[in-house]
Structure 1
Amino acid sequence: MDKSEVHIYTDGSSRGNPGPGGYGIVMEWVGKPYRKEFSEGFKKTTNNRMELLAVIEALKKLKKPNIFAKVFSDSKYVVDAVEKGWVFGWEKKNFKDKKNPDLWIEFLKQYRKHYVSFQWVKGHNNHPQNERCDFLAVEASKKPVLKTDIGFEG
């Protein structure tokens, strides 16, 4: 089995909640000099949607199945939902009365392709990759042309 391991750093942002938003991703392969950055901005969204979308988009970038991925996020919403198992209970109830079911369903699809663990990091605490993700997310939200967050705006 391929023991490839990647560290994924993510952050989401919205200026206003809801408001223009974006996400930032930094991916680093463990033991290799490989590092990539990704970001995208949206016209109207929420902070939590961007935090979760960042993780989804990062996992989608993994080309092979069964990669060991450690996700570093400053979002308690995302980290706790997975690490404390809440999302699996929500899934059993078809996400009834939960926000962002479209993203949680997509997250679980991507999550189950790999070995994913989460580590919460304190935001705005001079963590270099987290700071970079925050910068990417905010800058993406300021682009002159922004995508529509279909799940939020319909």
Structure 2
Amino acid sequence: MPVDSAEVEIHTDGACSGNPGPGGYGAILRYKNVEKEIFGWTSKTTNNRMEMLAAIRALEALKRPCKVKIFTDSQYLKNGITQWVSGWICKGWKNSAGKPVKNIDLWQRLLELVKIHTLEWIWLKGHAGHELNERADNLARFAIVKGQKGELPEDVEGRLPV
């Protein structure tokens, strides 16, 4: 499938109240002058799962293959998808210590989405005044509050595996 030449910016963040605990994710998609906000929550999760789910839900929201810049303050997410995942796959989803990789379900889903788009992953220092990163963080925290009040359905894919 050809990739749309238009470039989409995605700014993501995840938050967790306790680790593990209730968590939320937020993402802002920007195409030209149009923005879309995405957010959700999970009752028992980790910060890393929320960081990953923010990117997954944002990429799922794209209607066709695109050229995408993803901005994240998560080194786990950026390094995982750009550096570590190929080694994990070669080792049968084991990390450098020989232990099972955490969040395999989300890594596998993210890998499916990465094949669709042309991606550039950009790391930003968190809480350093990057406007859209701060907004994504606020969305993630907002989602936790709304979810715990019963005002937002739970995104169960973010739950910790049993």
> TM-score, structure 2 length as denominator?
0.87
1:96-136 deviations in whole A, cap 9, x for unaligned? 31000000000000011010110000100111000000000
Aligned partner letter, 1:59? L
Confirm whether residue 52 of structure 1 aligns to residue 60 of structure 2: no
Between the aligned partners of 2:30 and 2:56, the Cα distance in structure 1 is 16
Alignment partner of 1:118 out of 121, 133, 149 = 121
Deviating runs (4+, > 3 A) in structure 1? 148-151
Partner of 1:87: 85
| Alignment size in residue pairs | 150
Partner of 1:16: 18
Aligned residues of 1:41 and 1:140 also touching (Cα < 8 A):
yes
SS at match of 2:111: helix
1:45-74 deviations in whole A, cap 9, x for unaligned? 000000011111111111112x11000000
Between the aligned partners of 1:94 and 1:105, the Cα distance in structure 2 is 13
Alignment partner of 2:9 out of 7, 10, 28 = 7
Aligned residues of 1:26 and 1:129 also touching (Cα < 8 A):
yes
Over the matched positions of the two proteins, sequence identity in percent amounts to: 44
* Aligned counterparts, 1:1-154, within 5 A: 2-29=4-31, 32-65=32-65, 67-83=66-82, 85-96=83-94, 97-143=100-146, 144-145=149-150, 146-147=153-154, 148-149=156-157, 151-154=159-162
> TM-score, structure 1 length as denominator?
0.91
Q: CA deviation at 1:82?
A: 2.2
Q: CA deviation at 1:88?
A: 1.4
Aligned partner letter, 2:134? E
Aligned residues of 2:42 and 2:159 also touching (Cα < 8 A):
no
88-97 or 13-22, which deviates more: 88-97
Instruction: Kindly report the root-mean-square deviation, in angstroms, between the aligned alpha carbons of the 2 structures.
Output: 1.4
Q: CA deviation at 1:9?
A: 0.1
User: Structure 1: where are the runs of 5+ without partners?
Assistant: none
